Structure 1
Amino acid sequence: MSTPSATPATPATPAARQSLIMVCASMAGVIPVMTLALWFVLATDGIGEFPTDWPPLVVLAAAVGAYSICELVGFRTPPLEYSNRPAAEIQADSWRRFTTSTFTRFAICEAVFLISVALSFVAESFWVVLIGAVIALPLFFWEAWPGERNQRRFAAALESGGIPSYLTGRLQD
């Protein structure tokens, strides 16, 4: 009889991370759905002419501002303080703080899209919504998606006091 080959164990993804990924995917999915819905409202005569006025520049400026805020303050958090708490409790606290930060960064990134929606009605152009969606989605995936990059950055801030956060499963440099 042959025995099944042993496969190396892969580290399990914490339930908190899986839940956060599902919520973020749902939130990100709203942007294309709203863009499609607004196409029926704003693009009555096709996609129309590209606006030569200020609305696209305002959307671009909002995106630069959102990126700057997320990069400069989006990953800041007070470091963990020493306590006699068990590692599981520290990890749960780290995930709560990371989730809060993720939602805040998402709101900042989504504001770019919401500004473009408002400006599209002022400019009466679907192009403004399209520009907002094309800029806001990659900005969200870069700044707010709970991927390895963002987890490491936040874990480094949590662990800056020397206390392990267990957010990524290991201590950060």
Structure 2
Amino acid sequence: MSNPMNATRPPQATSLMTVMGSMLAAIPLITLVMWFVLAVDGIGDFPPTWAPLLILAAAAGAYSLCELAGFRTAPLQPGGRPADVERLSWQRFTSSTFVRFAVCEAVFLLSLPLAFIVDSFWVILVGAVLAMPLLAWEVWPGVRNTQRFAASLESAGHPSYLLGRPQDYL
């Protein structure tokens, strides 16, 4: 007998993982491009401490916002066909995922103009090193994030089918 942990993922999960993977890949690519722009003389000296601390504060703020509010949503209303409820659940989860992505990616995007202000590639590296794990933890549509959002959807006691439908586990 199968259980939700090893059941096949719905097509919505697969496509969302594909989109998130390609969006996550942009950060290393942009970092590489910015290396050619800012690191002409090697990687250079470390910038003034206020610049990396500003990026760190943005990462802490993004993490806090995602953890405290990023997985909250209005509970589902009773009724409806399971397929329709599942589709609605995935639509809400996908839109929540994109909002969390925008919040977390802002950490890296803040590092870009800041790197030009202090004229240091280190700021972009700090932004990328903080943003990538943050995005992977808060945005990737894995079991942790799907279960957290499903719990919010099901808080009124009605199934969301976000983790699958009972017939999927037989």
TM range, smaller chain = over 0.9
Match for residue 142 of structure 1?
Answer: 137
Match for residue 85 of structure 2?
Answer: 90
How many residues are paired up?
163
Percent pairwise identity = 58
1:114 aligns with 2:112: no
Match for residue 126 of structure 1?
Answer: 121
1:72 aligns with 2:68: yes
After superposing the two structures, state which structure 1 stretch, 49-58 or 112-121, moved more.
49-58
Q: Name the aligned partner's letter for residue 163 of structure 2.
A: T
Q: Does the CA contact (< 8 Å) of 2:59 and 2:107 recur in 1? A: yes
Q: Name the aligned partner's letter for residue 37 of structure 1.
A: V
Counterparts of 1:13 and 1:54 in 2: how far apart (Å)? 44
Tell me which of 17, 33, 37 is aligned to 1:41: 37
Point out which structure has higher relative CO (alpha carbons under 8 A, 6+ apart).
Answer: 2
Counterparts of 1:66 and 1:156 in 2: how far apart (Å)? 22
SS in 1 for 2:154: helix
**Deviations for 1:39-94, whole angstroms, at most 9, x for unmatched residues?**
000001000011134111100000000000000100000000112x1100000000
Match for residue 9 of structure 2?
Answer: 13
Residue 32 of structure 1 and its aligned partner are, at CA, apart by: 0.2
**Deviations for 1:94-120, whole angstroms, at most 9, x for unmatched residues?**
000000000000000000000011100
Tell me which of 160, 163, 167 is aligned to 1:168: 163
RMSD: 1.5
Q: Does the CA contact (< 8 Å) of 2:82 and 2:165 recur in 1? A: no
Segments of structure 2 that go 5 or more residues without pairing to the other structure are none
Residue 170 of structure 1 and its aligned partner are, at CA, apart by: 6.2
Counterparts of 1:170 and 1:128 in 2: how far apart (Å)? 46
Q: Which has the larger radius of gyration?
A: 1
Segments of structure 1 that go 5 or more residues without pairing to the other structure are 1-7
SS in 2 for 1:113: helix
Tell me which of 147, 155, 169 is aligned to 2:150: 155
Residue 11 of structure 1 and its aligned partner are, at CA, apart by: 2.4
